[in-house]
C-alpha cells in the first residue's frame, strides 16, 4: 500500500513539474528563481525529458513490477515533450527571409560582445555585411564603440556613438549604441532612469522626429538579482509605452518572462511582447532560435537577444546570425529589418 501511495505521489509531482515547465504563466511563476531558468531552455528541457523517457522504458523492461509506474511517468514525459514542441513551433524555428530593403527601412544589428571580446573588426564586418543602420552593443566600451564608428565612417557609413558605463572595471557595465548619421542628430536621454546593474543607452532625435532608439541590457536572473531583473523588465516595458520606440540588445529574458508585460493586440493585428513593443523574432517565425550560449546548437539555446519596436513598425526580416559563433562572444548576433507602417 505504501509503495502505491509513494508511486502515485511521485507521478503527481512529475506531472505538476512538467505542467509548470510547459506554461508557468498559468501559475504566475515564470519570473521566479529556478522556474525562470528552466523555462528559458525549453528545447533543452525537452531533450532532458527524452533522455529520462528512454531510461524509463529501460526500467520497465528490466523490472516487471515497475511497469505500471514507468508507463505513467512515460505518458507524462511524452505529453511534456509534445506540449513543448507545440510552443516552440508556434514561435518559429527560423525564417531568414528578408524583404527587399526600402528607402525608409531600418536595419538593426544587436550583439552582446562579451566585454568587447569580438573586437571592433568583427562588429564592423557584420555591420557592413548587413547594411546596419543601428548597432546595439551590450558589454561594449566607448573605446570599442569609437573604433567601430571610425571604421564605419571610413567605409562610407558614418555613425553617431553613445555609451553609458557604470564603471570602468567590468566591461559588462558598459553598453554602446551607434546610429547612422544620415538619420539626423540624436542625443542621449538621461532623465528617465536606467536598468539597475547593467546599463541601457537611450537616444532620442534632437528635433523630435523619428524613433527613440535604445540599446538595452537588463541584469541576468541569477539568484541575487531576481528583484533587479524583474524591475528592469518592468522599466523597459514602460519605455515601450512612450510612442515611437525601437529596442535592441541582450534582454536576459525570453518571451515567457515577459508575459506579464505584453499580450495586447495592436491596430496592425500584431501581439505585443513587452509593453507596446512587438518582438521581431516572434513576428517573423524566429522566436525559438537560441542566441545564448553561442557554443550550443541554436535550437537548444535560449532566445534572450531581441529587437523590438512599437506598433508603427513592421518587421520585414529577422535572423539569428549563426556563422559568428567563434568570434569571441558567448552570444549570437541578431539582425532585424523594420519597415514603417506610416
Return the pLDDT at 268: 67
pLDDT at 214 over 90: yes
The residue ranking higher by pLDDT, 328 or 70, is 328
pLDDT at 106 over 80: yes
pLDDT digits (tens, 9 = 90+) for 174-191: 999 999 999 999 999 999
Task: Tell me the average pLDDT across 53-80.
Answer: 89
Residue 203 contacts residue 189 (beta carbons within 8 Å): yes
Return the pLDDT at 5: 84
Task: Tell me the average pLDDT across 120-138.
Answer: 98
pLDDT bracket for residue 70 (50, 70, 90): confident
SS3 readout for the chain: CHHHHHHHHHHHHHHHHHHHHHCHHHHCCCCCCCHHHHHCCHHHHHHHHHHHHHHHHHHHHHCHHHHHHHHHHHHHHHHHHHHHHHHHHHHCCCCCCCCCCCCCCEEEEECCCCCCCCHHHHHHHHHHHHCCCEEEEECCCHHHHHHHHHHHHHCCCCEEEEEEECCCCCHHHEEEEEEEHHHCCEEECCCCCCCCCCCCEEEEECCCCCCEEEEECCCCCCHHHHHHHHHHHHHHHHHCCCCCEEEEEECCCCCCCCHHHCCCECCCCCECCECCEEEHHHHHCCCCCCCECCCCCHHHCECCEEEEEECCEEEEEEEECCCCCCCCCCCCCEEEEEEECC
Return the pLDDT at 307: 98
Residue 310 contacts residue 338 (beta carbons within 8 Å): no
Work out the mean pLDDT of the chain and round it to a whole number. 94
The residue extents of the domains of the chain are 2-91, 106-340
Return the pLDDT at 262: 78
Return the pLDDT at 98: 96
pLDDT at 88 over 90: yes
Q: Name the residue with cell 571604421.
A: 151
C-alpha cell at 50: 527524452
Cα 256 to Cα 25: distance, rounded to the nearest angstrom: 7
Return the pLDDT at 272: 87
Return the pLDDT at 340: 94
pLDDT at 120 over 70: yes
| Lowest-pLDDT range of 1-10, 55-64, 99-108, 227-236 | 1-10
The count of C-alpha atoms lying within 13 angstroms of the C-alpha of 196, restricted to the half-sphere facing its C-beta, is 15
Cα 274 to Cα 71, 201, 255, 305, distances in angstroms: 41, 18, 9, 13
Distance from the Cα of residue 106 to its chain's centroid: 19
pLDDT at 7 over 90: no
pLDDT at 142 over 70: yes
Q: Taking phi first (over 0 means left), then psi (-120 to 50 degrees means alpha), and beta for anything else, what does residue 250 get?
A: beta
Task: Tell me the average pLDDT across 184-210.
Answer: 95
pLDDT bracket for residue 11 (50, 70, 90): confident
Task: Tell me the average pLDDT across 42-62.
Answer: 92
pLDDT at 161 over 80: yes
Architecture in CATH for domain 106-340: 4-Layer Sandwich (3.60)
pLDDT digits (tens, 9 = 90+) for 263-283: 777 766 778 899 999 999 999
Amino acid at each position: 500500500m505504501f509503495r502505491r501511495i509513494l508511486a502515485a505521489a511521485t507521478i503527481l509531482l512529475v506531472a505538476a513539474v512538467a505542467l509548470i515547465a510547459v506554461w508557468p504563466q498559468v501559475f504566475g511563476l515564470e519570473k521566479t528563481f529556478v522556474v525562470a531558468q528552466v523555462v528559458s531552455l525549453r528545447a533543452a528541457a525537452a531533450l532532458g525529458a527524452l533522455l529520462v523517457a528512454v531510461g524509463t522504458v529501460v526500467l520497465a523492461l528490466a523490472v516487471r513490477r515497475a511497469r505500471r509506474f514507468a508507463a505513467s511517468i512515460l505518458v507524462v514525459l511524452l505529453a511534456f515533450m509534445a506540449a513543448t514542441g507545440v510552443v516552440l513551433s508556434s514561435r518559429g524555428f527560423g525564417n531568414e527571409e528578408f524583404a527587399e530593403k526600402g528607402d525608409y527601412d531600418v536595419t538593426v544589428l544587436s550583439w552582446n560582445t562579451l566585454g568587447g571580446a569580438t573586437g571592433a573588426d568583427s562588429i564592423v564586418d557584420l555591420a557592413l555585411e548587413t547594411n546596419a543602420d543601428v548597432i546595439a552593443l551590450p558589454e561594449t566600451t566607448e573605446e570599442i564603440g569609437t573604433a567601430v564608428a571610425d571604421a564605419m565612417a571610413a567605409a562610407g557609413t558614418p555613425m553617431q556613438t553613445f555609451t553609458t558605463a557604470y564603471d570602468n572595471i567590468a566591461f559588462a557595465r558598459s553598453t554602446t549604441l551607434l546610429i547612422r548619421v544620415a538619420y539626423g542628430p540624436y542625443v542621449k536621454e538621461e532623465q528617465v532612469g536606467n536598468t539597475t546593474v547593467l546599463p541601457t543607452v537611450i537616444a532620442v532625435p534632437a528635433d523630435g522626429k523619428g524613433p527613440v532608439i535604445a540599446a538595452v541590457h537588463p541584469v541576468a536572473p541569477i539568484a541575487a538579482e531576481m528583484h533587479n531583473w524583474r524591475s528592469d523588465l518592468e522599466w523597459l516595458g514602460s519605455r515601450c509605452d512612450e510612442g515611437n520606440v525601437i529596442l535592441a540588445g541582450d534582454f536576459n529574458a525570453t518571451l515567457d518572462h515577459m508575459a506579464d508585460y505584453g499580450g495586447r493586440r495592436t491596430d496592425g493585428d500584431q501581439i505585443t511582447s513587452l509593453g507596446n513593443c512587438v518582438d521581431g523574432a516572434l513576428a517573423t517565425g524566429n522566436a525559438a532560435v537560441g542566441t545564448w550560449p553561442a557554443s550550443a546548437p541554436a535550437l537548444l539555446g535560449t532566445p534572450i537577444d531581441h529587437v523590438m519596436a512599437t506598433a508603427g513598425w513592421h518587421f520585414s526580416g529577422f535572423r539569428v546570425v549563426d556563422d559568428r559563433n567563434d568570434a569571441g562572444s558567448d552570444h549570437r548576433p541578431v539582425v532585424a529589418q523594420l519597415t514603417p507602417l506610416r
